[in-house]
Amino acid sequence: MSDQEFPLFIGGKAVPGTGSFAVIDPATGEAFAECALASTDQLDEAVDAARAAFPAWAAMPIEDRAARLLAIADAIESRQGELAALLSREQGKPRKSAMGEIGGTLYWIRATAALRPAIERVGGSEGPIVELHRRPLGVVGSITPWNFPVMIAIWHVIPALLAGNSVVIKPSPNTPLTTLRVVAIANEHLSAGVFNAVTGDVEIGGAMSRHPGIDKIVFTGSTPTGRAIMREGAANLKRLTLELGGNDAAIVLPDADVDAIAPRIFAAAFGNSGQVCAAIKRLYVHESVHDALAARLAEMAAAATVGAGDDPDSQFGPLQNRKQFDYVAALADDARAAGGRFLTGGTATTGPGYFFPLSVLVDVTDGVRAVDEEQFGPILPIVRYHDPEDALARANANDNGLGGSVWSSDVERAAALAQRLQCGSVWVNDHSTISPTIPFGGAKQSGIGVEFGQHGLDEYTQLQTVRIPR
């Protein structure tokens, strides 16, 4: 397979698609590669291969499965620079950030491979011995997004494989290339059919959701798509893990140290050009520190370098695709029309590519689209408030509930308020920090189930109760 070929993987073999599609460089808006396009018949072949491979893979001792996963990590590490360059080109993030994503991938594989399903004993000393075992589900379908295409693929696939499942993955059609390279590397260390890859857009994703041969779907992406997967998967009662949209609120209390918190808030709002599910997307700041914090964040945003991924001076890349670029620009226009004021940014860069400057927005409140909707881009709306209870009520009024945070010099007070946020993860004086050993998932419309750690591994298993006479 040459550096210019990006085939499907079915039954352990590289397979051409029934067609192809162009992959766009978001720094130029121009196509730079062609990727194989799968048909629904090829999806059927991939599922058949996964089902055929499942019994032997599930029967393999977990220590042996874990060893295969660690070998995959070593193989990815040996090609880290090559993979990071390709990831930067297709996703748009600077090369250093792409290296960080591949490095995070290695860390996640190795930490996840150390997990083991627990066998629990329940009941008393009388009657039968009752054990709770965890059994693999069968075939897991993974549908991944374009913001962290390699990292999120690993989040989906590695616990599925460790638990004894086989996998069919469909990467986003915006960023399929590096994921396909990783699948090819993984297949050098796995039995044929254990890990398969198909490509496509809505047609293939919908077919995966309906497919009777797929036992579970794990999906990261928008809430509307998550709902569609849930509807389609009802046909065979698919197990689901859905990590969906977020509109994370951060509340800054009046005693917060502006100089101390500004860099951390900036990083949590603008990392990956705001294209992070659990980024800070609404910042509620007490009126006593509002102006100082807004000015400090605007200063940092204005000083940031936004550029192409292969430019060593770039700190932030373009938005990944035209649709997202147009959406972020529309939110900025709507905010201005509603009386909002950009302290910096707010207008798309002219020229090729999907570049939008880091933008700090003030004089807006709930009811403005840029506050109510997930921007998934480099716009940070800052909402002034007087009463912390009012800020909490506003934060909780949104349908999303992925993450939230409270910032204060009084950690106990902040923790008490944070625990009243209606979201799956909360942080104090931090935001977006995650770990392969700590569960992560959303509340309300932000998803079903959790990823990471023992709880995340359990999502890829069926609980089996075993009763044994004494």
Catalytic residues: 243, 277
Contact 147, 181 (CB under 8 A): no
139-143 and 166-170 beta bridge pairing: parallel
Which residues touch 119 (CB under 8 Å, ≥6 apart)?
131, 132, 133, 134
The dihedral built from the CA positions of residue 226, 443, 328 and 84, taken in this order, carries a sign that is: negative
340, HSE (Cβ side, Cα atoms, 13 Å):
31
Matching residue, tokens 């400090």: 296
Instruction: Fill in the amino acid letter for 291.
Output: D
Q: How far is CA 91 from CA 25, 84, 274, 387, in A?
A: 7, 10, 13, 41
- Picking from 433, 443, 434, 440, the residue whose alpha carbon sits closest to that of residue 457 is 440
How far is residue 297's CA from residue 304's CA, in Å, rounded to a whole number?
11
How far is residue 260's CA from residue 270's CA, in Å, rounded to a whole number?
17
How far is residue 413's CA from residue 288's CA, in Å, rounded to a whole number?
18
